[in-house]
Amino acid sequence: MRKLIIACVTLAVLAILAINSVATVPVGSTGILLTMGKVEDSALTEGLHIKLPFVQRIISMDNRVKKLELSTEAFSKDIQTVSATLAVNYRLQPEKTFSIYKTAGQAYESNLIVPATHEVLKSVCAQYTAEELISKRAESSDMMRDELDAKLSGMGISVTDFNIIDFDFSDEFISAVESKQVAEQLKKKAATENETAIAQAEREKQVAIKQSEAQAESVRIAAQAEADAVKLAADAEAYRLQKINEQLSEKTIQNTLAERWDGKLPGVVGSGVTGILNLNDMLETE
């Protein structure tokens, strides 16, 4: 009986030792090996690992992407209070998990990420006015992400995504922004109405010009038509006279001269000095 008890105790001790000699690191995690509370400067991969029972223990650190949402406040460049709700997606770098554990233990989120996020928000907001934080939200968000990633990367934490969920300001500032927006809208409306009036005036001017050009063209066409009619009439008259002239023969001319002759001969005939004869003198001599 005693031997049986001793054997059972021995088996139980061996079983306890065996159970405490192995540990499993889950998928997506890194194992941190502690020897008598001291962190070993190496990270264990996922899977089964052997350790010294009661002397060593393995702590799993999740390396998968995690999301942190936090609300914080800062001051803008123009000394406006900025209340922001931020979302940070991050993951632990497997090769530096032991360093993270050494620095902040398993409370790395509250000890490292949250303070760094507060600091980055204050740093970036101080570079923009409150109005610029609204109009350049994407730009300021990218700057915060880059600065936060640079700050946390040295600690072994990578920022995979960063978003500004909400920006909030004082009631006075919001009222001032709304008033400014209303004034800008009224200004744009007035500018639009002015441009519309100018465009309408220009259209009316072009219509008047076209009408004047049409009237002038109409007058020109009428004048040209009248001139063409006069020319046609003149051409017709000239043609008529030409035909009449062509119809007059030498005989017609002689008949006309004969009809109109008074029976008197010309007093002088011939040409030159010696060839001229005075018919009247000759008639008187006879």
User: pLDDT tens for residues 121-134?
Assistant: 999 999 998 888 88
Q: Is residue 165 part of a domain?
A: yes
Q: Is residue 6 part of a domain?
A: yes
Query: pLDDT under 70 in the chain at which residues?
Result: 13-14, 17-20, 174-178, 181-182, 246-286
For residue 66, the one-letter residue type is K
For residue 235, the one-letter residue type is D
Domain that holds residue 22: 2-60
User: Torsions phi, psi of 268, nearest 5?
Assistant: -135, 135
CA distance 104 to 115: 12
User: Torsions phi, psi of 105, nearest 5?
Assistant: 65, -150
When divided into structural domains, the chain yields a total of 2
Identify the pLDDT of residue 80. 87
User: pLDDT, tens digit, for every residue of 181-219?
Assistant: 667 777 887 888 888 888 888 888 888 888 888 888 888
Domain identity same for 51 and 93: no
Q: Is residue 244 part of a domain?
A: no
Identify the pLDDT of residue 70. 92
Q: Is residue 54 part of a domain?
A: yes
Q: Is residue 147 part of a domain?
A: yes
Cβ 53 vs Cβ 17: under 8 Å: yes
Q: Is residue 99 part of a domain?
A: yes
Per DSSP, the three-state class of 45 is coil
Q: Is residue 26 part of a domain?
A: yes
